[in-house]
Amino acid sequence: MRPADPDDIDARFEALVAQFDEDEIRSMITAAERDPLTRRTRRRRLPAVLVAIAAAVLVVGLVVTVRPDALERLGVGGTAPGDDDRFVTGAVVARPGPVLTPIPDGEEGLADLDPAPAGPFTGTPAAGFADGEEGLVMPPARKLGGLTEDEVGRALLRVRRLLSAAHLDPATVRGGRPDRFAGLLHPRQRETFLSGLDESGPSGTRSWVFSLAPGAAEPAGNVVKVSGATTVGARTGGGVRIEADYLFVHPVTRPGDSLTVTRVVEHHRSEFAAYREGGKLVVWLDGDRSALFGASCDTGDGFVHPYFPGDPREARPSGEPVNPYDRASAVARRPACPAAYAT
């Protein structure tokens, strides 16, 4: 439908108002009061003339809302010089209630709405990292080291699943039993892992996975940011060597305190060997090493103990401070608990 021309609206309004002048309105009211029927019913219903007047008033309000200069056209009022900014020409915002109050852009209303809460990665390089398993990108499979393309592809898939189970599995991250990771290990290696899971010191195997110490911290949300790469090459003696180098950024909070959020950045490097044994493909974890930023050091139990602002640090980081989001320097050259600029 074509929008109504403002001049047509003004003309119709002026024609409507012209139908009633003050003498006619007084005559209509007087006639209505003399009518016996009106006297009998005026206590129960509004006189028709008042309904007409109310309708006219409503039209006046609508026209004034649409065209602020309508008052000037009616001779009721106008815009004084210098008062042009009294009428709003910007967007309007509906406030609660029956009145639509115009609000100038940039002054109130939308500008006053609370901004979206900042996420746990806002302001850090991790904001641009992939979410979870999306960051565990494997190279394309190819025939290599005496293995077929299919075998190399299966080995890469197993490595991806092992990395996910060790660093992203919710039960494992929360300090629970890492059954998913154990189930993906070779049977002989699985036995070693499970037997040392609850031991402390060098023989403990809890450090093979990322597990928050029970009662020390909780995950903040369900997203872990991941960035890194996996490479594959021929292995001496047959098969392939697969090297994984990733950053895992875990947002954590104090238990019962969701407002205090910090991040633990884990730079994890691991090596896997994939080869045939007895005609079957074997994927073996040859070794791994992690450097933790934002966590206490040398706890000895294999769990991760994040520290929060104001917490005393029983074991302070060592070495020159480094950027925890930079994978350029090999983690093997760093101390297990390196100092960091910020996480």
- CA–CA separation, 306 vs 296, rounded Å? 6
Count of domains forming the chain: 2
- The residue whose two tokens read 């950024």 is 249
Between 80-84, 167-171, 173-177, the lowest mean confidence (pLDDT) is in 80-84
Please say if the pLDDT value at position 228 is more than 60: yes
Residues 24 and 155 in one domain: no
Q: What is the mean pLDDT of residues 110-131?
A: 75
Residues 136 and 261 in one domain: yes
Please say if the pLDDT value at position 101 is more than 60: no
Please give the single-letter amino acid code of residue 145: G
Residue 45 located in a structural domain? yes
Residue 1 located in a structural domain? no
Residues 13 and 34 in one domain: yes
Please give the single-letter amino acid code of residue 264: V
More confident residue, 316 or 139: 139
CA distances from 37 to 29, 32, 50 (A): 14, 9, 16
Residues 159 and 29 in one domain: no
Do 314 and 333 form a contact (C-beta atoms < 8 A)?
Answer: no
Please say if the pLDDT value at position 209 is more than 60: yes
Please say if the pLDDT value at position 78 is more than 90: no
Do 241 and 270 form a contact (C-beta atoms < 8 A)?
Answer: no
In terms of residue numbers, what domain contains 37?
6-112
Q: For 267-290, how does the pLDDT look when each residue is reduced to its tens digit (9 = 90+)?
A: 999 999 999 999 999 999 999 988
- CA–CA separation, 6 vs 66, rounded Å? 9
